Amino acid sequence: MKTFGSLLLGAAFAVTATAVAAQEERFITIGTGGQTGVYYVVGQSICRLVNRDTATTGIKCTAPSTGGSVANVNAIKSGDMTMGVAQSDIQFHAYNGSSDEFAGDKKFDNLRAVFSVHPEPFTVVARKDASIAGFDDLKGKRVNVGNPGSGQLATMEVVLDAKGWSMDDFSLASQLKPAEQSAALGDNKVDAIVYTVGHPNGSIQEATSTVEANLVPVEGPEIDALVEANPYYAKAVIPGGMYAGTDADTNTFGVKATFVTSADVPEDMVYEVVKAVFDNFDRFKGLHPAFANLTPEEMVTQGNSAPLHPGAEKYYKEQGWIE
Ligand code: GLU
Protein backbone atom coordinates (compact mmCIF):
# COMPACT_ATOMS: atom_id res chain seq x y z
CA MET A 1 0.00 0.00 0.00
CA LYS A 2 2.76 2.33 1.01
CA THR A 3 4.67 1.77 -2.22
CA PHE A 4 1.55 2.12 -4.28
CA GLY A 5 0.71 5.34 -2.46
CA SER A 6 4.09 6.92 -3.00
CA LEU A 7 4.09 5.86 -6.64
CA LEU A 8 0.80 7.62 -7.11
CA LEU A 9 2.15 10.66 -5.37
CA GLY A 10 5.20 10.58 -7.62
CA ALA A 11 3.04 10.37 -10.74
CA ALA A 12 0.85 13.24 -9.63
CA PHE A 13 3.87 15.34 -8.88
CA ALA A 14 5.35 14.61 -12.28
CA VAL A 15 2.18 15.70 -14.07
CA THR A 16 2.04 18.96 -12.14
CA ALA A 17 5.70 19.67 -12.78
CA THR A 18 5.24 19.16 -16.55
CA ALA A 19 2.21 21.43 -16.64
CA VAL A 20 4.10 24.15 -14.81
CA ALA A 21 7.13 23.78 -17.07
CA ALA A 22 4.97 24.04 -20.20
CA GLN A 23 3.48 27.31 -19.05
CA GLU A 24 6.63 28.90 -17.75
CA GLU A 25 6.70 32.23 -19.56
CA ARG A 26 9.47 32.92 -22.01
CA PHE A 27 9.78 36.03 -24.09
CA ILE A 28 10.84 36.45 -27.70
CA THR A 29 11.64 39.85 -29.20
CA ILE A 30 11.81 40.13 -32.97
CA GLY A 31 13.72 43.06 -34.53
CA THR A 32 11.87 44.51 -37.54
CA GLY A 33 12.26 47.86 -39.33
CA GLY A 34 10.36 51.11 -39.76
CA GLN A 35 6.61 50.97 -39.21
CA THR A 36 5.88 51.78 -42.88
CA GLY A 37 8.02 48.89 -44.18
CA VAL A 38 7.37 45.19 -44.64
CA TYR A 39 9.74 43.89 -41.89
CA TYR A 40 7.40 45.35 -39.32
CA VAL A 41 4.59 43.25 -40.79
CA VAL A 42 6.84 40.15 -40.91
CA GLY A 43 7.61 40.48 -37.20
CA GLN A 44 4.05 41.34 -36.21
CA SER A 45 2.70 38.43 -38.26
CA ILE A 46 5.12 35.89 -36.79
CA CYS A 47 4.31 37.09 -33.27
CA ARG A 48 0.59 36.94 -33.92
CA LEU A 49 0.90 33.25 -34.87
CA VAL A 50 3.33 32.44 -32.03
CA ASN A 51 1.08 34.13 -29.45
CA ARG A 52 -1.92 31.98 -30.43
CA ASP A 53 -0.08 29.08 -28.76
CA THR A 54 1.15 30.87 -25.62
CA ALA A 55 -1.11 28.74 -23.39
CA THR A 56 0.70 25.55 -24.45
CA THR A 57 4.21 26.84 -25.26
CA GLY A 58 4.54 29.60 -22.67
CA ILE A 59 6.20 31.75 -25.36
CA LYS A 60 5.20 35.41 -25.66
CA CYS A 61 6.40 37.32 -28.69
CA THR A 62 6.77 41.04 -29.40
CA ALA A 63 8.08 42.73 -32.55
CA PRO A 64 8.99 46.39 -32.04
CA SER A 65 9.96 48.81 -34.80
CA THR A 66 13.76 49.21 -35.21
CA GLY A 67 16.33 50.81 -37.51
CA GLY A 68 16.40 47.72 -39.79
CA SER A 69 18.77 44.92 -40.83
CA VAL A 70 22.10 46.01 -39.38
CA ALA A 71 20.51 47.20 -36.13
CA ASN A 72 18.64 43.87 -35.80
CA VAL A 73 21.71 41.69 -36.31
CA ASN A 74 23.67 43.74 -33.78
CA ALA A 75 20.81 43.53 -31.28
CA ILE A 76 20.68 39.73 -31.64
CA LYS A 77 24.46 39.56 -31.20
CA SER A 78 24.32 41.57 -27.98
CA GLY A 79 21.38 39.50 -26.67
CA ASP A 80 18.96 42.47 -26.68
CA MET A 81 16.76 40.69 -29.22
CA THR A 82 16.00 37.02 -29.80
CA MET A 83 15.37 37.03 -33.52
CA GLY A 84 15.11 39.53 -36.33
CA VAL A 85 14.68 40.28 -40.01
CA ALA A 86 17.75 41.09 -42.09
CA GLN A 87 18.60 41.43 -45.76
CA SER A 88 20.39 38.42 -47.30
CA ASP A 89 23.49 40.56 -47.98
CA ILE A 90 23.57 41.66 -44.33
CA GLN A 91 23.17 38.04 -43.15
CA PHE A 92 26.12 37.07 -45.37
CA HIS A 93 28.37 39.91 -44.23
CA ALA A 94 27.52 39.54 -40.53
CA TYR A 95 28.30 35.81 -40.57
CA ASN A 96 31.46 36.17 -42.67
CA GLY A 97 32.69 39.48 -41.25
CA SER A 98 32.99 40.65 -44.86
CA SER A 99 31.80 44.27 -44.77
CA ASP A 100 32.82 47.35 -42.78
CA GLU A 101 29.75 47.04 -40.52
CA PHE A 102 30.85 43.55 -39.43
CA ALA A 103 34.64 43.66 -39.68
CA GLY A 104 36.91 42.36 -36.90
CA ASP A 105 35.13 41.72 -33.62
CA LYS A 106 31.86 42.93 -35.09
CA LYS A 107 31.69 39.62 -37.00
CA PHE A 108 28.85 37.40 -35.72
CA ASP A 109 29.86 33.70 -35.91
CA ASN A 110 26.82 32.64 -33.91
CA LEU A 111 24.35 34.12 -36.38
CA ARG A 112 21.91 31.43 -37.56
CA ALA A 113 19.43 31.44 -40.45
CA VAL A 114 15.80 30.50 -39.83
CA PHE A 115 14.15 31.09 -43.22
CA SER A 116 14.08 33.63 -46.03
CA VAL A 117 11.01 35.69 -46.78
CA HIS A 118 10.06 38.06 -49.65
CA PRO A 119 12.36 39.57 -52.32
CA GLU A 120 13.46 43.17 -51.69
CA PRO A 121 14.36 45.18 -54.78
CA PHE A 122 16.73 48.11 -54.24
CA THR A 123 14.16 50.82 -54.90
CA VAL A 124 14.86 54.42 -55.90
CA VAL A 125 11.95 56.87 -56.17
CA ALA A 126 12.45 60.39 -57.55
CA ARG A 127 10.29 63.49 -57.88
CA LYS A 128 9.24 63.89 -61.52
CA ASP A 129 10.40 67.55 -61.49
CA ALA A 130 13.96 66.38 -60.65
CA SER A 131 14.19 64.61 -64.06
CA ILE A 132 15.93 61.50 -62.77
CA ALA A 133 15.57 58.73 -65.37
CA GLY A 134 18.49 56.52 -64.28
CA PHE A 135 20.80 56.09 -61.30
CA ASP A 136 23.50 58.28 -62.91
CA ASP A 137 21.11 61.25 -62.86
CA LEU A 138 21.30 61.20 -59.05
CA LYS A 139 24.71 62.88 -59.21
CA GLY A 140 24.51 66.32 -57.59
CA LYS A 141 20.99 65.71 -56.29
CA ARG A 142 19.50 65.63 -52.79
CA VAL A 143 19.08 61.98 -51.90
CA ASN A 144 17.83 60.25 -48.77
CA VAL A 145 20.29 57.37 -48.56
CA GLY A 146 18.76 55.45 -45.62
CA ASN A 147 18.81 55.73 -41.83
CA PRO A 148 21.77 54.43 -39.80
CA GLY A 149 21.29 50.71 -39.05
CA SER A 150 19.19 50.12 -42.14
CA GLY A 151 19.82 47.67 -44.93
CA GLN A 152 19.25 50.32 -47.58
CA LEU A 153 22.09 52.49 -46.28
CA ALA A 154 24.45 49.47 -46.35
CA THR A 155 23.36 48.46 -49.86
CA MET A 156 23.54 52.06 -51.09
CA GLU A 157 27.16 52.18 -49.93
CA VAL A 158 27.88 49.04 -51.95
CA VAL A 159 26.30 50.56 -55.06
CA LEU A 160 28.25 53.81 -54.65
CA ASP A 161 31.48 51.83 -54.22
CA ALA A 162 30.74 49.80 -57.34
CA LYS A 163 30.19 52.99 -59.33
CA GLY A 164 33.26 54.70 -57.90
CA TRP A 165 31.09 57.35 -56.24
CA SER A 166 30.84 58.49 -52.63
CA MET A 167 28.19 60.29 -50.58
CA ASP A 168 29.93 63.52 -51.67
CA ASP A 169 28.57 63.01 -55.17
CA PHE A 170 25.16 64.09 -53.84
CA SER A 171 24.45 67.72 -52.95
CA LEU A 172 22.70 66.29 -49.87
CA ALA A 173 22.83 62.73 -48.46
CA SER A 174 20.19 62.70 -45.73
CA GLN A 175 19.57 59.75 -43.41
CA LEU A 176 15.87 60.04 -42.63
CA LYS A 177 13.94 56.98 -41.50
CA PRO A 178 11.52 55.22 -43.88
CA ALA A 179 8.53 56.76 -42.09
CA GLU A 180 9.89 60.27 -42.72
CA GLN A 181 11.31 59.96 -46.20
CA SER A 182 8.11 59.86 -48.25
CA ALA A 183 6.98 63.12 -46.68
CA ALA A 184 10.42 64.65 -47.31
CA LEU A 185 10.08 63.74 -51.00
CA GLY A 186 6.60 65.27 -51.12
CA ASP A 187 7.76 68.44 -49.35
CA ASN A 188 10.64 68.89 -51.82
CA LYS A 189 13.28 68.44 -49.11
CA VAL A 190 14.91 65.72 -51.22
CA ASP A 191 14.86 64.81 -54.92
CA ALA A 192 14.99 61.06 -54.41
CA ILE A 193 14.69 58.36 -51.76
CA VAL A 194 16.21 54.89 -51.50
CA TYR A 195 14.54 51.90 -49.88
CA THR A 196 15.38 48.19 -50.05
CA VAL A 197 11.91 46.85 -49.46
CA GLY A 198 9.28 44.29 -50.52
CA HIS A 199 6.52 45.28 -52.95
CA PRO A 200 3.87 46.45 -52.96
CA ASN A 201 4.25 48.50 -49.78
CA GLY A 202 2.55 51.47 -48.18
CA SER A 203 5.70 53.55 -47.98
CA ILE A 204 6.37 53.70 -51.74
CA GLN A 205 2.63 54.05 -52.32
CA GLU A 206 2.68 57.14 -50.09
CA ALA A 207 5.75 58.55 -51.85
CA THR A 208 4.23 58.12 -55.32
CA SER A 209 0.79 59.40 -54.43
CA THR A 210 1.68 62.56 -52.49
CA VAL A 211 3.80 64.01 -55.32
CA GLU A 212 4.38 63.19 -58.99
CA ALA A 213 7.18 60.69 -58.82
CA ASN A 214 8.78 57.86 -60.76
CA LEU A 215 10.72 54.72 -59.94
CA VAL A 216 14.34 54.90 -61.14
CA PRO A 217 16.03 51.90 -62.84
CA VAL A 218 19.28 50.74 -61.23
CA GLU A 219 21.15 48.84 -63.93
CA GLY A 220 24.29 48.80 -66.06
CA PRO A 221 27.65 47.06 -66.08
CA GLU A 222 28.50 47.82 -62.42
CA ILE A 223 25.20 46.32 -61.26
CA ASP A 224 25.67 43.29 -63.56
CA ALA A 225 29.09 42.76 -62.00
CA LEU A 226 27.70 43.02 -58.44
CA VAL A 227 25.00 40.44 -59.15
CA GLU A 228 27.48 38.17 -60.92
CA ALA A 229 30.00 38.28 -58.06
CA ASN A 230 27.69 37.93 -55.05
CA PRO A 231 25.30 35.03 -54.31
CA TYR A 232 23.04 37.21 -52.16
CA TYR A 233 22.15 39.60 -55.00
CA ALA A 234 19.80 38.94 -57.91
CA LYS A 235 18.30 40.98 -60.73
CA ALA A 236 14.86 42.30 -59.82
CA VAL A 237 11.94 43.93 -61.62
CA ILE A 238 9.32 46.16 -60.02
CA PRO A 239 6.23 45.59 -62.18
CA GLY A 240 4.88 48.54 -64.17
CA GLY A 241 1.57 49.88 -62.92
CA MET A 242 2.21 48.91 -59.31
CA TYR A 243 2.71 52.55 -58.30
CA ALA A 244 1.32 55.80 -59.71
CA GLY A 245 3.65 57.50 -62.23
CA THR A 246 5.51 54.38 -63.38
CA ASP A 247 3.73 52.38 -66.07
CA ALA A 248 6.74 50.47 -67.38
CA ASP A 249 8.64 47.73 -65.53
CA THR A 250 11.59 49.07 -63.51
CA ASN A 251 14.80 47.05 -63.71
CA THR A 252 16.93 46.96 -60.61
CA PHE A 253 18.66 44.39 -58.42
CA GLY A 254 17.88 43.18 -54.96
CA VAL A 255 18.19 40.91 -51.97
CA LYS A 256 15.87 38.70 -49.98
CA ALA A 257 14.50 39.49 -46.58
CA THR A 258 15.61 36.74 -44.19
CA PHE A 259 14.69 35.74 -40.67
CA VAL A 260 17.66 35.14 -38.38
CA THR A 261 18.57 34.32 -34.80
CA SER A 262 21.52 33.33 -32.63
CA ALA A 263 22.96 29.86 -31.94
CA ASP A 264 22.44 30.76 -28.24
CA VAL A 265 18.63 30.69 -28.60
CA PRO A 266 17.26 27.30 -27.42
CA GLU A 267 16.31 24.76 -30.06
CA ASP A 268 12.74 24.27 -28.85
CA MET A 269 12.07 28.02 -28.94
CA VAL A 270 13.08 28.37 -32.59
CA TYR A 271 11.20 25.14 -33.36
CA GLU A 272 7.98 26.57 -31.90
CA VAL A 273 8.33 29.81 -33.89
CA VAL A 274 8.95 27.99 -37.16
CA LYS A 275 6.09 25.58 -36.44
CA ALA A 276 3.71 28.49 -35.74
CA VAL A 277 4.55 30.04 -39.13
CA PHE A 278 4.49 26.92 -41.30
CA ASP A 279 1.59 25.13 -39.58
CA ASN A 280 -0.42 28.28 -40.41
CA PHE A 281 1.26 29.14 -43.68
CA ASP A 282 -1.84 30.27 -45.64
CA ARG A 283 -2.78 32.58 -42.83
CA PHE A 284 0.79 33.97 -42.75
CA LYS A 285 0.83 34.57 -46.52
CA GLY A 286 -2.43 36.45 -46.27
CA LEU A 287 -0.99 39.03 -43.88
CA HIS A 288 0.88 41.10 -46.54
CA PRO A 289 0.72 41.22 -50.35
CA ALA A 290 4.54 40.98 -50.52
CA PHE A 291 4.20 37.42 -49.08
CA ALA A 292 1.87 36.27 -51.89
CA ASN A 293 4.41 34.13 -53.80
CA LEU A 294 6.24 32.57 -50.87
CA THR A 295 6.72 28.79 -50.81
CA PRO A 296 8.19 26.87 -47.86
CA GLU A 297 10.66 25.05 -50.13
CA GLU A 298 12.21 28.32 -51.35
CA MET A 299 12.14 29.91 -47.91
CA VAL A 300 14.24 27.15 -46.38
CA THR A 301 16.72 26.76 -49.27
CA GLN A 302 17.22 30.26 -50.71
CA GLY A 303 18.75 33.48 -49.43
CA ASN A 304 20.36 31.94 -46.35
CA SER A 305 24.13 31.93 -45.99
CA ALA A 306 24.58 31.38 -42.24
CA PRO A 307 23.94 27.78 -41.06
CA LEU A 308 20.31 26.92 -40.26
CA HIS A 309 19.43 27.04 -36.57
CA PRO A 310 18.96 23.44 -35.30
CA GLY A 311 15.39 24.20 -34.14
CA ALA A 312 14.44 25.25 -37.68
CA GLU A 313 16.34 22.35 -39.22
CA LYS A 314 14.42 19.88 -37.06
CA TYR A 315 11.04 21.14 -38.29
CA TYR A 316 12.14 21.25 -41.96
CA LYS A 317 13.44 17.67 -41.77
CA GLU A 318 10.14 16.52 -40.25
CA GLN A 319 8.36 18.15 -43.19
CA GLY A 320 10.76 16.58 -45.71
CA TRP A 321 11.82 20.00 -47.03
CA ILE A 322 15.51 19.29 -46.43
CA GLU A 323 17.51 16.07 -46.11
N1 GLU B 1 15.42 46.23 -46.00
C2 GLU B 1 15.24 47.22 -44.98
C3 GLU B 1 16.37 47.09 -43.97
O4 GLU B 1 17.08 46.14 -43.99
C5 GLU B 1 13.91 47.14 -44.26
C6 GLU B 1 12.72 47.01 -45.16
C7 GLU B 1 11.44 46.88 -44.41
O8 GLU B 1 11.32 47.36 -43.30
O9 GLU B 1 10.54 46.23 -44.96
O10 GLU B 1 16.58 47.90 -43.14
Q: Is the CB of 63 under 6 A from ligand 1?
A: no
Provide the 3-class DSSP secondary structure of residue 302.
Answer: coil
Residue closest via CA to ligand 1's atom 9 equals 38
pLDDT computed for residue 61 by the predictor = 98
SS (H, E, C) 154-195: HHHHHHHHHHCCCHHHCCEEECCCHHHHHHHHHCCCCCEEEE
The dotted CATH code for 120-255 is 3.40.190.10
pLDDT computed for residue 20 by the predictor = 44
pLDDT computed for residue 260 by the predictor = 98
Determine the atom of ligand 1 nearest the C-alpha atom of 40.
Answer: 8
Q: Which residues of the chain form CATH 3.40.190.10?
A: 25-119+257-319, 120-255
Q: By the 8 A CB rule, do 133 and 125 touch?
A: no
| Best CA proximity match to 287, nearest among 32, 31, 46, 30 | 46
| Residue 100 Ramachandran class (φ > 0 left, ψ -120 to 50 alpha, else beta) | alpha
State the distance from the centre of ligand 1 to the C-alpha of 206, rounded, in angstroms.
Answer: 16
Report the distance separating Cα 219 and Cα 16, nearest Å.
Answer: 63
How does pLDDT run along the chain (323 residues), one tens digit per residue? 333 333 333 444 444 444 445 568 999 999 999 999 999 999 999 999 999 999 999 999 999 999 999 999 999 999 999 999 999 999 999 999 999 999 999 999 999 999 999 999 999 999 999 999 999 999 999 999 999 999 999 999 999 999 999 999 999 999 999 999 999 999 999 999 999 999 999 999 999 999 999 999 999 999 999 999 999 999 999 999 999 999 999 999 999 999 999 999 999 999 999 999 999 999 999 999 999 999 999 999 999 999 999 999 999 999 999 99
State the distance from the centre of ligand 1 to the C-alpha of 111, rounded, in angstroms.
Answer: 18
pLDDT computed for residue 24 by the predictor = 84
Q: Is the CB of 149 under 6 A from ligand 1?
A: no
Q: pTM higher than 0.85 for the full model?
A: yes
Q: Is the CB of 31 under 6 A from ligand 1?
A: no
Sign of the Cα pseudo-torsion (67, 203, 241, 221, in order) = negative
For 138, other C-beta atoms within 10 Å of its C-beta total 24
Long-range contacts of 96-100 (CB under 8 A, 24+ apart): 96/305, 99/154, 99/158, 100/157
Determine the atom of ligand 1 nearest the C-alpha atom of 85.
Answer: 4
pLDDT computed for residue 248 by the predictor = 98
Q: At the topology level of CATH, where does 25-119+257-319 sit?
A: D-Maltodextrin-Binding Protein; domain 2 (3.40.190)
Query: Which of 150, 157, 177 has most ligand 1 atoms within 8 Å of CB, for mutation?
Result: 150
Report the distance separating Cα 55 and Cα 37, nearest Å.
Answer: 30
Q: Is the CB of 170 under 6 A from ligand 1?
A: no
Q: Is the CB of 65 under 6 A from ligand 1?
A: no
State the distance from the centre of ligand 1 to the C-alpha of 66, rounded, in angstroms.
Answer: 9
Q: Is the CB of 111 under 6 A from ligand 1?
A: no
State the distance from the centre of ligand 1 to the C-alpha of 14, rounded, in angstroms.
Answer: 46
Name the DSSP class of 239: P
Q: Is the CB of 204 under 6 A from ligand 1?
A: no
